Structure 1
Amino acid sequence: MPRIPPSLPLVAVMGTTGTGKSDLAVDLAVRFNGEVINADAMQMYKGLPIITNQISEAEQRGIPHHMLAAIDHGEPTWTVTYFAREARRIIQEIRSRGKLPIVVGGTHYYINSLLFDDTIVAAAEKEDEDVQLRPQEETIAQFPILDEPTDVMFKKLQEVDPAMAERWHPDDRRKIKRSLEIFLTTGKRASEIYAQQQADRMAAGDTPATWEALMFWVYSKPEVLNERLNTRIDKMEQRGLMGEVRQLAAFLNERSACGEEVDQTRGIWQSIGFKQMEPLLQAEKRGSSQMQLDRARAEGLELMRIATRQYAKSQIKWLRNKTGPELREKDALPYLFVLDSSDVDKFSTDVLQPAADVLQCFLAGEALPQPQSLSSTARDVLAPFMESEKPAKAEIKTFRCDDCHLTLVTEAQWNDHITGRKHQRVVKNKKRKALVPVPDTSKSDSDEVKSEDAANDTK
């Protein structure tokens, strides 16, 4: 396809854990004068290179890595909006040095926040799962309406922020509640906040259009990846996994001694390793036998293998269900290239060189190859997104049928409903009831007595 060189190029390297994303990012940075921005939430924590699987200093090959090993154990995981703000600032700084920004990581909603202009709304939805604006019980105590039925909250949202209410289905409690909570706790409409954030990004010139971002999905076949991940857990133990587990346990003990309660459902405590191996520490404290310790160690490592495989599946699910369809909606699939890293012995020929060739064409404004042409794996992975015709996006608008007490969200659904038999039957029944005479109850008691006397006289 005819192209011009991107004015604000951005490279994003995505994929599951254990596929070689970091190695590809470094290789591209070396070849194309780039710097790397970490987009893995757990790898932001410092002092824990084994548990978080951070790329080593030697593997970085002198390439600057931003937001890697940057925050302390006690800090909460960054929200996607905070990440996006910091990442864009760093991207601007990298470009000011005449270098190429390369974002790499497995926290894919972080990466999406940099790829898509309108992702801030989706980001707020994701943050609803990760962090509350303030403790939930405190928020509800101050704003009881957040605990009311969904229709009550929706009516209030229509009053205070009709633009956001127009986005959501009247029964989508989570999104309605989130939008209303933003207004109540900040005093600003969510729709205005999102619009201002987008305007700020556009004014700053730090958000590239989708076609100025080149994306690499490093993919390994499931059966190969699972075995690789299992082996990696054994290597983590050999490299000193338990030392980092003890380090985290000591941190918890220090906080506990200070009377501080640590929320272990957030932050670094969600990384794979600590909670699986903590029973081994407890067994050691109890003075358990060597046989019991060996059993606890084996069970902990197996739980780590299971959790890691499940995490990889969730990353794939996000790319397939979120990133891929979003790129398709933006007509940006021609900029997503799947690289098969299943064979580690062919990593250079199957991953590094094809990526470098594509990036060279991208930066030069030359025609890009068809993404599915890189390999049979690329064709298979991209097939679900490559339909010949993109379905029209249904307009999000609500239609209310007061006759049937029903809410519909598209004009097509509305037209089908009002011409359907059920609606016609309800309307017909209402008309029939309207034609039935209503008894006259306006007569006075005296009129009723006179009527009875007249009836008696005729007997």
Structure 2
Amino acid sequence: MAAHAPPAEPLLVVLGSTGTGKSELAVELARRFKGEIINSDAMQLYDGLPIITNKISHEERHGIPHHLLGHIPLDDAPWDVEKFKTEASKVIGEIRSRGNLPILVGGTQYYVDPLLFKDVILDDVKADPSLSFPILEQPTDVLLEELKKVDPIMAERWHPNDRRKIQRSLEIYLHTGRPASELYAEQVQRKAAAAQDAGTSLPWEKLLFRVYSERETLTARLDSRVDKMLDAGLLNEVQELFDMKQRKAAEGQILDMTKGIWQSIGYKQFEPYMSAKQEGKGPEELEKLKNSGLEDMKTATRRYANYQTKWIRLKQIPRLKEQGPGAFDSLYVVDSTDVSQFKTKVIEPAAEVTAKFLAGEPRPMPTELSDVARELLTRVSEPPPKETPAKKTCEICQTVCVTEQAWQRHIKGAAHKRVMKKKKRLALVPVDQSPDDRSDAEASSEPDVTSLFAP
């Protein structure tokens, strides 16, 4: 890759799913290049609960400053994307003012994107904190009906249970007086114009590392990590949250369990155990609930890792490509599948690329870093085609699909076929008869399947 002038405002970003070693790589790069780390994990923003939020320990930080880590009280509302972008941008500026290198460690991916890309959160829409719209706290079905009135295009786009997107579209309208669909259409036009002017835009001064682990290995690693969290005192932290919820309920406060610290993986899974413990249930039932909570937590952790991986592949990589020459080539994949080779396969390659990036020297192409990097980056260079918006409802299954491809998957899926088969079978039974209350004559009309197995 050709040489460039050293970046005036460099930013390192470490991406990857949970359990891949993002924090370890970020700390090592910070030690070598006068870096300071900015946390972008929504749960790790909260103070306390180091086990359930999986915070990096003080020993593991090796004296490197970590910002926005343990930053807000447990009962604070979660930060929205605009709030995080404002606070993180401020911290990045302060780090640079000290002559140090800001390193953003990605956990909550939609926090990271506004710091990398323009227009991700409709930057032209500034929420006025002095304004309050009670309608936004109404149930999801109420929000959807209101959105249909003011922006039917966006209402048609979202799944009726997708509260976050429905609420955001309505919020944009309430703050701007304009439908979000219009604003997004203008955003597309701006991106198209920016692509044409890419040659005259500011240089891309960000370097990204995706820490990758092969899925089967990562799954085993995550399961083991959850076991270790339990041994380290996870249930004490769940108990702390459970007591906090009980205390606030006694004070008459109504908590939104879909937001904030209550969404940390571990609390919801072990809450039934805590309730049973409070009710004085026997040891056998408690042990059963504890084991069930442990398995549910492992499943939720694996699901979250998969979600993070999909976000990188389907959102961040396409957005990198939209930035013009150089942006996509700033993404390097390092392979942490074998933890015994973490230094040689993750730290050293990343450090070598970082040194060249900061010096403005020619860097290797990302596909040249390893066979794994070549395979992954070649695969994502040809992403699957975008799905066609088309909201359809299966009245039989009571399922809503928002794209034509999702609809085709549904009607061809095993679940839909089972329901159809059952419906067809029931339609053949007289209304005053159960399927098992048929006459011998009806039964004898069926093929004798036992003959198929006769010797």
TM, length-normalised to structure 1: 0.71
The letter for the 2-side match of 1:313 is N
Contact 1:116 1:210 in 2 (8 A): no
Q: Which residue does 1:250 correspond to in 2?
A: 243
Counterpart among 248, 254, 257 of residue 264 in structure 1: 257
Tell me, yes or no, if structure 1 residue 304 matches structure 2 residue 294: no
Contact 2:144 2:166 in 1 (8 A): no
Any idea what SS the aligned residue of 1:98 has?
coil
Tell me, yes or no, if structure 1 residue 136 matches structure 2 residue 133: no
Contact 1:328 1:385 in 2 (8 A): no
Tell me, yes or no, if structure 1 residue 153 matches structure 2 residue 150: yes
Tell me, yes or no, if structure 1 residue 4 matches structure 2 residue 2: no
Change beyond 3 A, Cα 1:192–1:224: closer
Change beyond 3 A, Cα 1:14–1:122: farther
* Equivalent runs, 1:404-443 vs 2, <5 Å: none
Q: Which residue does 2:346 correspond to in 1?
A: 351
The letter for the 2-side match of 1:326 is R
Change beyond 3 A, Cα 1:121–1:139: farther
Q: How far 1:383 moved relative to its partner?
A: 1.4
Q: Which residue does 1:104 correspond to in 2?
A: 105
Rounded to whole Å, the distance in 1 between the matches of 2:21 and 2:124 is 26
Change beyond 3 A, Cα 1:233–1:188: same
Q: Which residue does 1:92 correspond to in 2?
A: 93
- Number of corresponding residues: 359
Rounded to whole Å, the distance in 2 between the matches of 1:176 and 1:238 is 40
Any idea what SS the aligned residue of 1:355 has?
helix
Q: How far 1:74 moved relative to its partner?
A: 1.0
Question: Greater share of helix residues, 1 or 2?
Answer: 1
* Equivalent runs, 1:281-300 vs 2, <5 Å: 281-300=274-293
Rounded to whole Å, the distance in 1 between the matches of 2:84 and 2:124 is 11
Rounded to whole Å, the distance in 2 between the matches of 1:44 and 1:256 is 24
* Equivalent runs, 1:322-361 vs 2, <5 Å: 322-331=315-324, 332-361=327-356
Q: How big is the alpha-carbon RMSD for the aligned residues of Structure 1 and Structure 2?
A: 3.4
Change beyond 3 A, Cα 1:243–1:118: same
Name which of structure 1's ranges 308-317 and 251-260 shifts more when overlaid on structure 2. 251-260
Q: How far 1:146 moved relative to its partner?
A: 7.3
Tell me, yes or no, if structure 1 residue 386 matches structure 2 residue 381: yes
* Equivalent runs, 1:157-306 vs 2, <5 Å: 172=157, 178=168, 181-185=171-175, 211-306=204-299
Change beyond 3 A, Cα 1:284–1:380: same
Change beyond 3 A, Cα 1:102–1:134: farther
Q: How far 1:111 moved relative to its partner?
A: 0.9
Cα deviation, 1:395-424, whole Å, max 9, x if unaligned, reads xxxxxxxxxxxxxxxxxxxxxxxxxxxxxx
Contact 2:329 2:366 in 1 (8 A): yes
Change beyond 3 A, Cα 1:386–1:2: farther
Rounded to whole Å, the distance in 1 between the matches of 2:303 and 2:109 is 16
Gaps of 5+ in 1: 156-167, 199-207, 394-459
Q: How far 1:105 moved relative to its partner?
A: 2.4
Rounded to whole Å, the distance in 2 between the matches of 1:183 and 1:83 is 21
Contact 2:135 2:143 in 1 (8 A): no
The letter for the 2-side match of 1:116 is F
Gaps of 5+ in 2: 160-164, 191-200, 387-455
Rounded to whole Å, the distance in 1 between the matches of 2:341 and 2:375 is 19
Q: How far 1:118 moved relative to its partner?
A: 2.3
Q: Which residue does 2:370 correspond to in 1?
A: 375
TM, length-normalised to structure 2: 0.72
Change beyond 3 A, Cα 1:335–1:137: closer
Q: Which residue does 1:422 correspond to in 2?
A: none
Contact 1:80 1:123 in 2 (8 A): no
Q: Which residue does 2:310 correspond to in 1?
A: 317
Cα deviation, 1:226-264, whole Å, max 9, x if unaligned, reads 000000011001110011001101111111121111111
Any idea what SS the aligned residue of 1:119 has?
coil
Cα deviation, 1:134-174, whole Å, max 9, x if unaligned, reads 54366999xx9973684x6359xxxxxxxxxxxx7895468
Contact 1:43 1:68 in 2 (8 A): yes
Change beyond 3 A, Cα 1:34–1:226: same
Rounded to whole Å, the distance in 1 between the matches of 2:98 and 2:111 is 24
Rounded to whole Å, the distance in 1 between the matches of 2:279 and 2:235 is 17
Rounded to whole Å, the distance in 2 between the matches of 1:61 and 1:145 is 47
Q: Which residue does 2:20 correspond to in 1?
A: 19
